[in-house]
């Protein structure tokens, strides 16, 4: 394709070339009709000439545009102009995950699990809507400065048997994460994405995809016949529990894989939490994490990070960076890698179902506990404490907030949170325990949603803006 910077493409002014990939080009463009800057992906002209590809492109772009999941970037429009297929979507600021791994090296298991969990959430939402991604790989994950992850490029991947895969170096990158059935006539569906997600987990932990890059024939053979590699044998310090998680996700037979992306993420969280387990009597689950850097606590901005949610397509590669534009928000807090440990966990095992839930037991009334807390909650933050008749069943501490989930005598769950920068607090009833771990709470006044997980506190505004705070410490009796 010819670089079109400075030209018009329908109603769009093409202002900056952001990246070039095997499927086409991505521009920062200005929509002259709606008066806004967007990310505009123009697919290669020959793709529009393929009726089957064009049909799937339109069908799946339509589905993706309807998804409402924070880790998928929203699609504004799609179609074709002058025989060129295009996708118009929101521009956000960040780097593709491949670039992050190249520049920073493999992630600490805690951070890797936090990123994996977000990608899995995007995949689960897509799968529930009947959409398979087909091309899950680090280049298709956008990571913002605070480690908020977006999965992009839904619905435009070609078949693993497509001869076009041999025409571009980027195709080898895609093949490094392809499930065995992608290279045959097997069914391509959610298990295909789970396999790729397991490959991505391997790279998060080790810094490299499961099988060495070579020609496509070598990669195909490895995915079809070679056993999944063991991350613990590649990178010292990685728990062998992760070996089982990767092997579960990379099973050759789709029927033998983890049933869902979320299930794989929960299994990875269990492996991370059990990585440094002392043999002590049973106690509430405790996940302690330490951010890298100076270790000083960063004050929370008075406004949450206003990032867009939901998304589709953009394979960006300018100096390894996906240059997107953040629409709204001014929170510049940066989350560092996290270390996760668990107290009194059972030996790591691979779940036999989709429910990889971290659970513990305690005599009589279980209470969550962390350093700096007592029987009611955080000693230093009065707004993050339970009433005398309540029991704290979950405690979380981020660099910006302290939160507690309190169980009332009736069994009702109450959420209390405090912003550390100014001690502003909020109390909300009707907190819901989420199968698989964590709690969801909705503010009935303005619709703001709070998601408390072992890896992060996520606040989703009624307008779809998202603010994520990685957990530094977390404890739960669930």
Query: Mean of the pLDDT values across residues 165-170?
Result: 38
In the structure, what pLDDT confidence band is assigned to residue 14 with cuts at 50, 70 and 90? very high
In the structure, what pLDDT confidence band is assigned to residue 365 with cuts at 50, 70 and 90? low
Residue 161 near residue 220, CB atoms below 8 Å: no
> Could you give the residue numbers annotated as active site?
135
Q: How many domains does the chain have?
A: 2
Query: Which among 115-124, 339-348, 361-370 has the top mean pLDDT?
Result: 115-124
Residue 149: phi and psi, rounded to 5, are: -105, 140
Which CA distances in Å does 52 have to 55, 126, 148, 153?
A: 5, 21, 34, 18
> Among the listed ranges 10-14, 45-49, 230-234, 383-387, which one has the minimum average pLDDT value?
45-49
Which CA distances in Å does 192 have to 227, 231, 250, 468?
A: 17, 21, 9, 28
Same domain, 114 and 210: yes
Query: Mean of the pLDDT values across residues 184-192?
Result: 91
Assess if residue 288 is contained within a domain.
no
Q: Decide: helix, strand or coil at residue 357.
A: coil
Look at residue 326 and tell me whether its pLDDT is greater than 60: no
Same domain, 33 and 147: yes
Assess if residue 16 is contained within a domain.
yes
In the structure, what pLDDT confidence band is assigned to residue 1 with cuts at 50, 70 and 90? low
- Do the annotations mark residue 98 as ligand-binding? no
Residue 398's pLDDT is what? 92
Residue 279's pLDDT is what? 39
**Top-confidence residue, 343 or 222:** 222
Residue 447 near residue 439, CB atoms below 8 Å: no
Which tens digits make up the pLDDT trace of 249-272?
999 999 999 999 999 999 999 999
Same domain, 95 and 242: yes
**Of 289, 314, 332, which residue is a domain's last?**
332
Same domain, 313 and 451: no
Burial of 100 (0-12, 13-18, 19+ CB in 10 A): buried
- Average predicted confidence (pLDDT) for the chain: 79
Sheet containing strand 141-143, edge to edge, reads 95-96, 141-143, 149-151
Residue 381's pLDDT is what? 86
Assess if residue 350 is contained within a domain.
no
Assess if residue 281 is contained within a domain.
no
Task: Give residues with Cβ within 8 angstroms of 367, minimum separation 6.
Answer: 284, 375, 391, 392, 393, 477
Residue 107 near residue 237, CB atoms below 8 Å: no
Same domain, 134 and 248: yes
Which tens digits make up the pLDDT trace of 115-167?
999 999 999 999 999 999 999 999 999 999 989 999 988 756 544 444 343 33
Same domain, 305 and 264: yes
Same domain, 264 and 401: no
Residue 153's pLDDT is what? 83
In the structure, what pLDDT confidence band is assigned to residue 442 with cuts at 50, 70 and 90? very high
**Top-confidence residue, 63 or 10:** 10
Q: Residue 462: which domain range?
A: 362-476
Residue 155's pLDDT is what? 57
Residue 451's pLDDT is what? 95
Assess if residue 159 is contained within a domain.
yes
Same domain, 52 and 140: yes
Residue 305 structure tokens: 């990070």
Look at residue 283 and tell me whether its pLDDT is greater than 70: no
Residue 292's pLDDT is what? 34
- What is the torsional sign of CA 318, 321, 324, 326? negative
**Top-confidence residue, 108 or 20:** 108
Same domain, 253 and 377: no
Q: What is the CATH number of the domain that holds 155?
A: 1.10.510.10
Query: Mean of the pLDDT values across residues 72-79?
Result: 90
Of the candidates 354, 124, 332, the one whose C-alpha atom is nearest the C-alpha of residue 248 is 354
Which tens digits make up the pLDDT trace of 405-423?
999 988 899 999 999 888 8
């Amino acid at each position: 394709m010819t670089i079109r910077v400075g030209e018009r493409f329908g109603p769009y002014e093409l202002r900056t070339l952001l990246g070039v990939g095997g499927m086409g080009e991505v521009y920062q463009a200005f929509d002259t009709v709606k008066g806004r800057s967007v990310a505009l992906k123009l697919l290669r002209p020959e793709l529009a000439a393929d009726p089957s590809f064009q049909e799937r492109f339109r069908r799946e772009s339509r589905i993706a545009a309807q998804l409402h999941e924070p880790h998928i970037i929203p699609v504004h429009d799609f179609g074709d102009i002058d025989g060129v297929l295009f996708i118009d979507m929101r521009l956000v600021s960040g780097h593709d995950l491949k670039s992050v791994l190249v520049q920073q090296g493999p992630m600490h298991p805690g951070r890797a699990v936090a990123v994996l969990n977000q990608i899995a959430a995007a995949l689960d939402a897509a799968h529930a809507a009947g959409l398979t991604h087909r091309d899950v790989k680090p280049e298709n994950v956008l990571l913002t400065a605070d480690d908020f992850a977006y999965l992009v490029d839904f619905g435009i991947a070609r078949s693993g048997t497509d001869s076009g895969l041999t025409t571009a170096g980027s195709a080898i990158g895609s093949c490094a994460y392809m499930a065995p059935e992608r290279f045959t006539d097997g069914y391509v569906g959610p298990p295909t994405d789970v396999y790729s997600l397991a490959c991505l987990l391997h790279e998060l932990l080790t810094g490299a995809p499961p099988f060495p890059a070579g020609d496509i024939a070598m990669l195909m053979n490895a995915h079809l016949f070679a056993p999944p590699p063991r991350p613990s044998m590649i990178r010292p310090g990685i728990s062998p529990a992760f070996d089982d998680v990767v092997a579960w996700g990379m099973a050759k037979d789709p029927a033998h894989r983890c049933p869902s992306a979320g299930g794989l993420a929960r299994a990875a969280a269990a492996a991370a939490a059990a990585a440094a387990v002392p043999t002590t009597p049973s106690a509430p689950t405790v996940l302690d994490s330490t951010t890298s850097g100076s270790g000083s606590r960063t004050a929370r901005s008075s406004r949450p990070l206003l990032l867009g949610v939901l998304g589709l397509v953009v394979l960006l590669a300018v100096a390894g960076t996906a240059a997107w534009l953040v629409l709204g928000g001014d929170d510049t807090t940066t989350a560092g890698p996290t270390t996760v440990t668990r107290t009194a966990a059972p030996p790591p095992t691979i779940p036999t179902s989709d429910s990889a839930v971290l659970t513990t037991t305690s005599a009589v009334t279980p209470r969550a506990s962390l350093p700096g807390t007592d029987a009611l909650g955080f000693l230093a933050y009065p707004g993050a404490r339970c009433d005398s008749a309540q029991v704290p069943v979950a405690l979380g501490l981020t660099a910006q907030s302290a939160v507690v989930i309190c169980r009332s005598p009736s069994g009702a769950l109450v959420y209390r949170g405090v912003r550390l920068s100014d001690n502003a607090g909020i109390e909300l009833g009707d907190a819901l325990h989420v199968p698989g771990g964590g709690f969801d709470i909705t503010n009935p006044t303005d619709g703001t949603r709070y998601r408390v997980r072992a890896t992060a506190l996520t606040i989703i505004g009624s307008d779809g803006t998202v603010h994520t705070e990685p957990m530094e410490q977390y404890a739960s009796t669930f």
